Amino acid sequence: MKTTYREAVRAALREALQSDPRVFLMGEDVGRYGGAYACSKGLLEEFGPERVRDTPLSESTFVGAGIGAAIGGMRPIVEVMTVNFSLLALDQIVNNAATLRHMSGGQLSIPLVVRMATGGGRQLAAQHSHSLEGWYAHVPGIKVLTPATLEDARGMLPTALRDPDPVFIFEHALLYPMEGELDENIGPVDISHAVVRRAGRDVSLITFGGCLGKVLEAAETLAAQGINAEVIDVRVLRPLDTAAILTSIAKTHRAVIVDEAWRTGSFAAEISARIMERAFYELDAPVARVCSAEVPMPYPKHLEDAALPQVDTIAHTVLEMLKPHG
């Protein structure tokens, strides 16, 4: 069936509300407005205001209320409009959602799902465009997912809802209109492993979320030049599937990591470090990274394009890496 990423998210939300009376959705504009990205359009009419709850602009409190409701026996899905706004809820996420289980000696479970849009590319400037999922992946006690495909947009949510721990799903804002074919009977998907999206032997391109499409495109460009790139979609930033990355490196002996976050302290840095720690002697070249420029995201299109990882910068990095030296 032909569908979009947005419709896949909506189908997952609808199914969750239909199949479990403990599930409810809350967040800014999820009800009457239909969701800032229209993911919850129609759900208020179908499920009513008790289960599709519009909240005030109070990120810290409605995320915290989601934590309390999860402790109290519900299965809340909290939508934070964008990752930039989630910083207002950082206290509840880091100090409560991630820690209460441990600090209580295992007495509490927090089956909370938080969804939010992330990423740049829509000329929304610095307060609506950043990619901070790597920050969240720093925190033990939560799980961090980055659905990059229609299957993952549809299937990660039901799996996350079955998870007894807090799960954060970062949906790249540019993916919502993405169209494609999706099996009508697609069910929940695994949320613990990376996936090889394109098999290859010359270099491992490691990425996640909004960069996957660009990386696959770059791989095709490279293929035309006789370079066969393997593309790994990390999918889950925490807990990270290191084994999948190492398996690919053992095959290709080269790695380029593509991450839309800033280079300094990025998740790409974490992946790079793990490769160095575990596969240093497999490498035929230093690990390379394609990340965003170290600048708050600018508004003009040409500057935003220059700040973000692009197909040609990815391809160029690979070509440089494969250039004969000496």
Partner 1 sequence: MASGELPATRGHALLLLREMLRIRRFEEKTVELYSLGKIRGFLHLYIGEEAVAVGAMQALTPDDSIVATYREHGQALARGVPAGALMAELFGKANGCSRGRGGSMHVFDVSRRFYGGYAIVGGGLPVALGLALADKLQGHSRITACFFGDGAVAEGEFHESLNLAALWKLPVLFLCENNLYAMGTALIRHQSQTDIWRKAEAYAIPADAVDGMDVVAVEAAARRAAETVRRGNGPYLLEARTYRFRAHSMYDPELYRTKEEVERWKQRDPLVTFPAALRARRVLSEAELAAMEGAVATEVDAAVRFAEDGPWEPVEDLTKDVYTGA
Binding site for partner 1 (CB under 8 A): 24, 50, 53, 55-56, 58, 60-74, 76, 91-92, 95-96, 100-109, 140-141, 143, 164-165
Min CB(212)–partner 1 separation in Å: 26
Catalytic, 102? Answer: no
Q: Which is nearer to partner 1, 38 or 94 (CB)?
A: 94
Residue 200, helix vs strand vs coil: coil
DSSP 210-242: GGHHHHHHHHHHHHHTT--EEEEE--EEETT-H
Min CB(279)–partner 1 separation in Å: 24
Q: Give the span between the Cα atoms of 195 and 149, in whole angstroms.
A: 11
Q: Which is nearer to partner 1, 72 or 187 (CB)?
A: 72
Catalytic, 59? Answer: yes
Min CB(78)–partner 1 separation in Å: 10
Q: Which is nearer to partner 1, 50 or 184 (CB)?
A: 50
Min CB(192)–partner 1 separation in Å: 11
* Cβ burial 57-93 (10 Å sphere, 16+ → b, else e): eebbebbbbbbebbbeebbbbbbbbbbbbbbebbebb
Q: Which is nearer to partner 1, 71 or 321 (CB)?
A: 71
Catalytic residue among 7, 28, 79, 128: 128
**Strand boundaries in the chain, DSSP class E:** 2-4, 23-27, 52-54, 75-82, 113-118, 143-145, 167-172, 179-181, 195-198, 203-207, 229-233, 236-238, 255-262, 288-292
Q: Under a CB-based contact definition with an 8 Å cutoff, are residues 165 and 142 in contact?
A: yes
Catalytic residue among 7, 28, 59, 133: 59
Min CB(35)–partner 1 separation in Å: 20
Q: Which is nearer to partner 1, 61 or 313 (CB)?
A: 61
Report, as residue numbers or ranges, the catalytic residues: 59, 128
